[in-house]
Amino acid sequence: MARPVIGIPTQTLHAIEGIPARLPASWVMNQRYYLAVTAAGAVPWMVPLLHEDPETLREIYDRLDGVMLAGGVDMDPAAYGEPRHPGCGPSDPSRDAVELQLARWALAEGKPLLGLCRGLQVINVARGGTLVQDIASELPEAIKHDYLPTEGFPRDFLAHPVRLVPGSELHRAFGRDEILVNSMHHQGIRRLGAELVPTAVAADGLIEAVETNNGGYVVGVQWHPESLEARDPGVSHLFRAFIEAARRFTGARMSPR
């Protein structure tokens, strides 16, 4: 049986530590996401940010068995109809457009969808939700969520626990009610999108994961499991469940009626 193909959108290369991005723009993405999908038994596909070419983007999408949305820069608040908060960081509008379109197609058609960190936020916005643009300044009572590598924290630093909802895809993957997660974000869900249900919550009440309530495989987590496979076997179970869902989706679509 052919291995499922998982599309992972890229991001626009921005200036890094004083080194300017080259023109014309380049599309890049952290290799951890592609390695995690490959290790789980799928074929990763780097999706270019063809936001001005919807026909080609749709041709790419149609060849995918599942979509994974990776971490990255903040979403432009214009994507969810709000003014920019002073604490909102750099954004990538072309990536926003591509990921929102892919997410909406997948949600409408039941194609398996997995969102990691920013990817959770994209799924929420795709379903009409909104975001807290800067947790520290907007929710001063919240715990610290921004344990960033730029501040000296390793990507696999276990920052805080989250409670998992029994019966959820996450609970089945990890097999317990609470897990420790890394935390490299300063934004989060404010208003939950339609047909999404919280399936993990931090101690301060911030939603740390969502799934859908209308069937199909949709999982979004606010942490970075691709950096934790060596720390928790549940991470491998999560990626394998996603890949298996992609395999089933394509098998059902291709089977004779």
Q: Strand pairing partners for 188?
A: 132
- Is 17 one of the catalytic residues? no
- Is 52 one of the catalytic residues? no
Burial 156-192 (b: 16+ CB within 10 A, else e): ebbbbebbbbeebbbbebbeeeebebbbbbbbbbbeb
Instruction: Please tell me which residue in 145, 160, 171, 224 is annotated as part of the active site.
Output: 224
- Is 88 one of the catalytic residues? no
Whose CA is closest to 9, among 55, 52, 57, 79?
57
Instruction: Please tell me which residue in 208, 211, 226, 229 is annotated as part of the active site.
Output: 226
pLDDT-flagged residues of the chain (< 70): 1, 15-23, 253-257
Domain of residue 140 covers: 5-13+21-254
Whose CA is closest to 246, among 13, 15, 44?
44
pTM over 0.85: yes
Angstrom distance (rounded) from CA 31 to CA 214: 32
What is the CATH number for 27?
3.40.50.880
Instruction: Please tell me which residue in 117, 171, 208, 229 is annotated as part of the active site.
Output: 117
DSSP secondary-structure letter at 176? S
| Overall number of domains in the chain | 1
The pLDDT tens digits for 210-257 are 999 888 999 999 999 999 998 899 999 999 999 999 999 988 766 544
